[in-house]
Amino acid sequence: MDFTPILSSVFSVLVYFIPIFIILAVGRSAWFKGVFGEFMVNTAVKFFLDKEKYHLIKNVTLPTDEGSTQIDHIIVSEFGIFVIETKNMKGWIFGSEHQKQWTQKIFKHSSKFQNPLHQNYKHTKVLGSCLGMDESKLFSVVVFVGDSAFKTTMPNNVTYAGGLIRYIKSKSSSLLSATEVREAVEQISTNRLEPGFKTNRAHVRHVKDIQQKKADQKVCPKCGSGMVLRTAKKGANAGEQFWGCSQFPKCKVVLK
């Protein structure tokens, strides 16, 4: 029996569906989510902020003592410098300003992720050091894009894409002179690592090393803080070692 016609038909079907599978896979990837999030912010800034007053610098990687830190967007203006972290997530988002970890809930599944305010705090510190500028002139902003909803009250610098513009425009006091704005833009361009595949690959490797170190550390199941190895000083277990939450006495979780 000649299977050629059958194989030809199967091949034709595969050729039709393969591009669809590729598009679906790319659409679900972390890379695409990052790109889409940046596109949303770029579009909002382009259409709703005056280019003469607000200078957008995208995807800035700055060197640090440990490696590097990557900032999604920086907007330099006379009203201050806005350091923007973009999160493309879906589901319900729970968190507060000082919690170390926030929670994402999709139906019955819950997962933890780093408080993006803490993440962006490092970005702001590094940028402020790079510019030699007082932190009062830098504003940290976290922008959520995608199908997500806040289920706890968030600070006003944690917002959706539409709220980003409102937050930036809420800062109306002049903090930088025209010369300082120009010098800040020039310094960022001078001190940033050269954009490209090599820089991105090195930064991804650095992030993975940090994540591995965190994975090796015991984490409190209640608050997400690190666990510390301690020795009992009193009672029947005196002299024995145990893992206690680093946030004690606020959190009293103990692990054997």
Average pLDDT of span 113-119: 93
Long-range contact set of residues 99-102: C-beta below 8 Å, sequence gap at least 24: 99/223, 99/224, 100/223, 100/224, 100/225, 101/223, 101/224
Domain ranges of the chain: 25-216, 218-256
Can you tell me the distance from the alpha carbon of 243 to that of 219, in angstroms, rounded to the nearest whole number?
Answer: 10
Q: Using pLDDT thresholds of 50, 70 and 90, give the confidence band for residue 221.
A: confident
Query: What residue type is 201 in one-letter code?
Result: R
* Whole-number Å distance between alpha carbons of 216 and 219: 9
Per-residue pLDDT tens over the stretch 34-55: 466 678 788 888 889 999 999 9
Q: Which residues contact 162 (CB under 8 A, 6 or more apart)?
A: 44
The per-residue pLDDT for range 54-112, each reduced to its tens digit, is 999 999 999 888 788 899 999 999 999 999 999 999 999 999 999 989 999 999 899 99
**Cα–Cα distance for residue pair 137/180, rounded to 1 Å:** 11
Length, in residues, of the chain: 256
Strand ranges (E), 161-211 = none
> Would you state the pLDDT for residue 41?
84
- Alpha-carbon span 214 to 217, nearest angstrom: 5
Check residue 203 and give its pLDDT: 45
The whole-number pLDDT of residue 159 equals: 95
